[in-house]
Chains A and B, each alone.
Chain A
């Protein structure tokens, strides 16, 4: 340790030269490109949404932030209570048909880039609830980035899924979900009222923003 400190002092003084300087730089500097760095930063600073739907909520948002499993190890300990501040939503449990519009609204309120994790059998496929009240798979009404199987998945499985999501983010996929899932042009404007259609300026600004993302 002391030796390294001394060498760093030498380097700052300008005393290191030639091979010594080369070695010092090779030890201290990691070469990468900006996108990788950004992906690394993004994947390690995810803010999950404080949000639970059913029994899986005991395993995911509650258990994995406790000291035993500790989501803070992966840089995601800051649970946000507002979708405006969150990056990731975990659908922890069955989504009933009455809850589905609410979940979709929460997802729409989150800012890009945003990630959705469907946790457990129920939100991925309806699970055991093959009935009139439960949506048979959450990806019927919103894009899901990651499915974690289990009924419920153990917290270890959730953490494993979370690291998979980090890998995905580091791979630098398209940051907007519509681009990521080829869903451009499926935007829905509220319909039915006199002010429901977007104004010409708003539509134009939206298209311009979309082009900007693509560029």
Chain B
């Protein structure tokens, strides 16, 4: 686990190779995280995986989050692990919402980490984030003909109101 100072060193090293890639760093609950620009995501991941002395060779999880009132709205999280030193680092690629008719896009890291294939499909399934260069980007858990991206925060909760008298009286 890089500590707060180590994280700043990593940031400096990445900045030297890829200017403007790292937007921010965070260190909460003993976990280091880098916020990066989505265009540079693949470059930063490659750098973290291959640079001597870092070598985060294992992608333990890839997931997304929707921070709706915040801007940019989406973030794809890459949880990287170095299995020799048992050090973890979280990389957040911040993605803006391009609007109603188009989906946010980011480069796929399947070439780099083959395990990302299903996880990127799952993120696409629930958040509608398109991974450019993914070999087979289609829905994985929801039915193939499902419409909408249900884990987004502005997706209606759904279901049906149950007409108990209590509900009628209080929520009309």
Contact = CB atoms under 8 A, between A and B. Distances in A.
B153 to A, nearest CB: 13
Q: Which of A98, A131, A132, A136 has most chain B Cβ within 10 Å? A: A132
Interface string A104-132: 00000000000000000000011001111
B66 to A, nearest CB: 14
Interface string B139-172: 0011100101010000101111010000000000
Interface residues of B, number: 12
Interface in B78-127: none
Q: Which of A97, A125, A133, A134 has most chain B Cβ within 10 Å? A: A133
A126 B157 CA distance: 13
Nearest to B144: A98
Nearest to B156: A132
A132 to B, nearest CB: 4
How extensive is the interface on chain A, given as a class? 10 to 19
Contacts of B162: 125
B160 A126 contact: yes
A126 B143 CA distance: 18
Nearest to B148: A132
Interface of A: 97-98, 125-126, 129-134, 136
Given A97-B142, A130-B159, 17 more contacts: A97-B143, A97-B146, A98-B141, A98-B142, A98-B143, A125-B162, A130-B157, A130-B158, A131-B150, A131-B158, A131-B159, A132-B150, A132-B158, A133-B150, A134-B159, A136-B159, A136-B160
10 contacts: A98-B141, A98-B143, A129-B159, A130-B160, A131-B150, A131-B158, A131-B159, A132-B148, A133-B142, A133-B150
